[in-house]
Homo-oligomer: A and B are copies of this chain.
Amino acid sequence: MSKELRIAMLGCGFMGRTHSNAWLQVNHFFPREHKPVLKGCYGRQEDLKKLKDFQAKWGYESLETDWRKLVERDDIDLVDVCTPNFMHKDCVIAAAEAGKIVVCEKPMAMNSAEAQQMVDAVEKAGVANMVSFNYRRVPAISLFKQLVDEGRVGRPFHYRAVYNQDYTIGQDVPQGGMSLWRLDSKVAGSGVTGDLLAHSIDTAEWINGPIKRVVAHAETFIKERKHADTGKVEKVGIDDACMFLAIFENGSLGTFESTRYARGRKNYSTMEMNGERGGLYFDLEDPHILQFFRYADPETGKKIEDHLTGWQRIHVTNFEHPYMKNWWVPGCTIGYEHTFIHGFADFLASLEGGPAFQPNMRTAMRTQQVCERVLESAKQGAWIDI
C-alpha cells in the first residue's frame, strides 16, 4: 500500500528548507501510504549556486531555473509553492492547470482578487490543495482548539491575539533583496498583516468562528529605507505594525495586534480566550505549554472547588496530546519544524481517505479577505464589515 508522491519544490529559501525537511521526515513519525520523493526543485537563474547547494543538501533529483517547466513535468505529482508571495498566484494556477496536487505557503496571495483566481483554478481542476498555516498544528494550539470544542471554555466573551517580533527595528535595516523581501511591498504584498496577522486570524476563526466587523490602525515607523538590491533610498510600503478591534459573529470581542517593533519579543504569538466556564492562553515562545483555567465542568456545569482554581500549565507532551504519541515520551518537547511535519501528515492522510484537510485554498482565501479588510479599515479610519 505504498505509493510514491513526487514533489516539485518551488523556492529554495527559508520555507523551501522547512518544507523539504518535512517531506523527508513525515513518514519517519507518521506512517502514510504516500512516500514523498524529492523530484525537482526550482530557483532563479541568478541564484543558481544557492539552488545547487539546496538540491545537494536535501537530495532533490533534479533542478530547474524555469518554474513553469518544473510544474508541467510528467514526473511530478505535487507542486509545493514556497516562492516569495508575489509569485504564488501564477505558480498555483499553473500547477492546478497541470493537474497537480498543490501546496502553498501563506499568505496565499498578494490580495484577495488573486486568492479568488487561485481558488477558482484548484476547484475547477479538482486538485487536492492545502495552504500551510503551520501554527494550527503546534500541539498546544491543537489542544486549545480541542478544549474549546469539548466545551471547556463555554460561552465565549473574549478572544485576543498578539503576534510580535523585533527584527526590523533600526533605520539601517534594508528592504528587499534575497533575505529581506518581506519588507518590500511589491514582493510581499503587505507587512505584518500578511506575514503575521494572517496566522493569528487563521487560528482565531478556526477556534472562535468568523469575525464580523473590525476597526484597524496600521503604522510604518521607518518611512524610508535603502533597497538591498539597488542601494536607493525608497519609501517603505509595508505596515510595520497593525492593530485592530473585532466583533465575532458569536458575540465575543476580539483584540488583535502585530508588530515587528516589540523589542524583546522574538516569535511572541499569543492567543487568549475567556469564556463562562474557563480560560485558555498560549504563547508561541513557550510552544509546549498551554495554560488552562478550569472553572466549571462542561458536562455538569459544576464549579471546581474555590480554593483549588488556578491557571494550569499543561506541558503538552503527553501521549494523550495531539500528535505527541508519534514523537518521543512525555516530557520531551518538539520544536518549530514539527508543525510542518504535522501539516503534511494530515494532508497525506486526507489523500488517503482521512478527514478533509484544513485550511485549504478556500479557507485561506477567507483569511486573505479578512487581512485585506483590516488594511482597508486602517486606510479608511472606520469600522467595516468583513
A287, B143: Cβ atoms under 8 Å?
no
List of B residues within 8 angstroms of A217 by Cβ: 215, 245, 247, 253
Q: Give the Cβ gap from A256 to chain B, nearest Cβ, in Å.
A: 9
List of B residues within 8 angstroms of A143 by Cβ: 307
List of B residues within 8 angstroms of A158 by Cβ: 241, 259, 261-262
| One of B18, B216, B308, B317 near A312 (C-beta < 8 A) | B308
In the bound complex, how far is the Cα of B318 from the Cα of A294, in angstroms?
15
B328, A307: Cβ atoms under 8 Å?
no
A307, B320: Cβ atoms under 8 Å?
yes
| One of B58, B286, B308 near A28 (C-beta < 8 A) | B58
Q: Mark A291-315, 1 if CB is under 8 A from B, else 0.
A: 0111100000000011111111111
| One of B264, B275, B294, B317 near A308 (C-beta < 8 A) | B294
Q: Mark A143-160, 1 if CB is under 8 A from B, else 0.
A: 100100000000001101
* A158-B259, A265-B331, A266-B318 known, 5 other contacts, Cβ within 8 Å: A217-B247, A262-B279, A263-B278, A266-B315, A286-B288
A296's closest neighbor in chain B, by CB? B263
A27 interface residue per 8 A CB criterion: yes
B264, A295: Cβ atoms under 8 Å?
yes
B336, A334: Cβ atoms under 8 Å?
yes
In the bound complex, how far is the Cα of B322 from the Cα of A159, in angstroms?
33
Q: Mark A318-333, 1 if CB is under 8 A from B, else 0.
A: 1111000001111111
Q: Mark A10-23, 1 if CB is under 8 A from B, else 0.
A: 00001000100100
List of B residues within 8 angstroms of A262 by Cβ: 157-158, 274, 279
B263, A279: Cβ atoms under 8 Å?
yes
